[in-house]
Amino acid sequence: MRMVDLIEKKRDGYALTKEEIEFIIQEYTKDKIPDYQMSAFLMTVFYEDMTDEEITALTLAMADSGEKIDLSSIEGIKVDKHSTGGVGDTTTLVLAPLVASVGVPVAKMSGRGLGYTGGTLDKLESIPGFKIELSDRAFIDEVNKNKVAVIGQSGDLAPADKKLYSLRDVTATVDSIPLIASSIMSKKIAAGADAIVLDVTTGEGAFMKNLEDARRLSHTMVRIGELAKRKTMAVISDMSQPLGKAIGNGLEVVEAIETLQGEGPNDLLEMCYVLGSQMLVLGEKAETLEEARSLLEEAVSSGAAFETFKNMIKNQGGDESICSQPEKLLTAPFKIELPAKKAGVVTQLVANEIGIAAMMLGAGRQTKEETIDYGVGLKLHKKVGEQVEKGESLVTIYSNTEQIEPIKEKLYQNIQIGEAADKPILIHEIIT
């Protein structure tokens, strides 16, 4: 096989075979296919699209390109969750211990944030001592013992995806549905999931800016999950405004602690109940979504979910005292309020711009090499649809410096106050 012939075949609108796709991924991973040919191929896929069979072959070839985690020594059905990303998305910190406390094992590998705000790993690392690196053995033992562990993605998991993603990033081929779908699903499959719950976000703060694209991506991932013999479903959720009220690493751990005690923001708690119910049904701990939901509500009100969170922190080396004194995580020297310039109803909180404001404070990375400041971030006091008085604080800004005029300016530009607004829909659709 020659790469140039395969590029031509795809360019002329023909579907590639499984063997041809495997050839491309294997040779590219071994550096036998140069980046210029791969770039041409990616652009062809961008314009010509792929069939479900092609995307499935691509996904499995990428999953096979490196280490695959064997979770078979963990008892029960391993259900993984993946979010396509958002601003202030504190879900995993709440959901992992919540679902585990009801008995579904959660062996989760998470990533760092590449966008404006930190990823789950960055948030966990804001807890002093918390270890995100465990050997495979320790990871599995931990899940068998406490039902949950959250660690960093192993370096050799789907190396083809890592290489391809870097190339896509510089060739304007990131936002292609077959490439996104195969990228996400290859990592979930290599990480050993039996079943997969996808949270596909849509809106200003998401990859998929509109519902139609989110729907296409969801259907594609659900179909390739099924073709790869993993039970898969997707929830399309709203990311036009940030999720919850905290954006920033330490702040989001505090928000997770409050939510696990039933005192967090409604949208975050609801999101966790919706995703968690699906995980319980896929994990065969409940027969119906209603039954699943009442198990989750019970785990919050009884304190079982919070207890599991505390054990997870302790067992992974973290300072447990933050569970009773979460304010220890809020280390920023300045807390600056942002008063509303007029009275009215909040009509818009532009998620991505607010994420950028948090990044400017130091809560996220502009480049991969940058370090994150765990103590800084934003605490929103008003979400879309809520009433505000003139002079009332819209946001508390946790900062390292008092010189934050550009950040205040950005926030004012992206928090609109008007006459009236509907509360945005949190869950748009569920796709099975």
Contact partner at residue 292 from Ca ion, ligand URA, none, CB < 5 to 8 Å by partner kind: none
Q: How many CB atoms lie within 10 A of CB 285?
A: 18
Closer by beta carbon to ligand URA, 183 or else 399: 183
Question: Are the CB atoms for 105 and 195 separated by under 8 Å?
Answer: no
Contact partner at residue 244 from ligand URA, Ca ion, none, CB < 5 to 8 Å by partner kind: Ca ion
Q: By rule CB under 6 A, what count of residues binds ligand URA?
A: 6
Closer by beta carbon to Ca ion, 180 or else 356: 356
Q: Helices 91-101 and 289-301, interaxial angle, to 10°?
A: 100
Q: Which candidate, 371, 391, 239, 249, places its Cα nearest to that of 322? A: 249
The one catalytic residue among 108, 123, 168, 428: 168
Question: Are the CB atoms for 333 and 400 separated by under 8 Å?
Answer: yes
Q: Is residue 256 a contact residue for ligand URA (CB under 6 A)?
A: no
Q: How far, in Å, CA of 134 to CA of 209, rounded? A: 36
Closer by beta carbon to Ca ion, 103 or else 111: 111
> 229: which residues sit within 8 A by CB, 6+ positions away?
none
Closer by beta carbon to Ca ion, 93 or else 299: 93
Burial class (CB in 10 A: 0-12, 13-18, 19+), 426: middle
Closer by beta carbon to Ca ion, 244 or else 355: 244
Check if 223 is active-site: no
In angstroms and rounded to an integer, the radius of gyration of the C-alpha atoms of the chain is 22
Bridge partners of 238, per DSSP, are 202
Q: Which residues, numbered 51-90, are part of the site for ligand URA (CB under 6 A)?
A: 84
The string over 51-67, giving b where at least 16 C-beta atoms fall within 10 Å of a residue's C-beta and e elsewhere, is eebbbbbbbbbbbbbbe
Q: Which residue in the set 65, 110, 183, 259 belongs to the binding site for ligand URA (CB under 6 A)? A: 183
**Hey, CA dihedral for 166, 169, 172, 178, is it positive or negative?**
positive
Check if 39 is active-site: no
Stretch that binds ligand URA, among 89-97, 175-183, 279-287, 343-351 (CB under 6 A): 175-183
DSSP H helical segments within 200-265, as ranges? 211-227, 249-260
Q: Which candidate, 253, 251, 252, 404, places its Cα nearest to that of 336? A: 404
Q: Is residue 106 a contact residue for ligand URA (CB under 6 A)?
A: no
Q: Is residue 244 a contact residue for Ca ion (CB under 5 A)?
A: yes
For residue 272 the two structure tokens come to 């966790």
Check if 219 is active-site: no
Q: Is residue 185 a contact residue for ligand URA (CB under 6 A)?
A: no
* Residue 113: φ, ψ to 5°: -80, 135
Report which DSSP code applies to 67: B
Q: Which candidate, 106, 98, 52, places its Cα nearest to that of 77? A: 106
Least distance from C-beta 63 to ligand URA, angstroms?
13
DSSP H helical segments within 170-248, as ranges? 177-190, 211-227
The one catalytic residue among 176, 183, 237, 277: 183
Contact partner at residue 246 from ligand URA, Ca ion, none, CB < 5 to 8 Å by partner kind: Ca ion
Check if 82 is active-site: yes
Check if 188 is active-site: no
Closer by beta carbon to ligand URA, 184 or else 356: 184
Q: Is residue 364 a contact residue for Ca ion (CB under 5 A)?
A: no
Report the SS3 class of residue 234: strand
Contact partner at residue 88 from Ca ion, ligand URA, none, CB < 5 to 8 Å by partner kind: Ca ion
User: What is each CA distance from 300 to 152, 280, 368, in whole angstroms?
Assistant: 26, 15, 36
* Residue 110: φ, ψ to 5°: -115, 165
Lookup result for tokens 């300045």: 334
Q: By rule CB under 5 A, what count of residues binds Ca ion?
A: 4
Stretch that binds Ca ion, among 83-91, 222-230, 323-331, 342-350 (CB under 5 A): 83-91
Stretch that binds ligand URA, among 125-133, 146-154, 176-184, 410-418 (CB under 6 A): 176-184
Pattern 189-228, Ca ion, x by CB under 5 A: ----------------------------------------
Q: Which residue in the set 184, 196, 208, 407 belongs to the binding site for ligand URA (CB under 6 A)? A: 184
Least distance from C-beta 249 to ligand URA, angstroms?
20
Q: Which residue in the set 96, 180, 268, 269 belongs to the binding site for ligand URA (CB under 6 A)? A: 180
Closer by beta carbon to ligand URA, 2 or else 368: 368
Closer by beta carbon to ligand URA, 197 or else 388: 197
For residue 331 the two structure tokens come to 């280390």
Q: Is residue 200 a contact residue for ligand URA (CB under 6 A)?
A: no
- Mind telling me the catalytic residues? 82, 161, 168, 183, 187
Residues that bind ligand URA (CB under 6 A): 84, 179-180, 183-184, 207
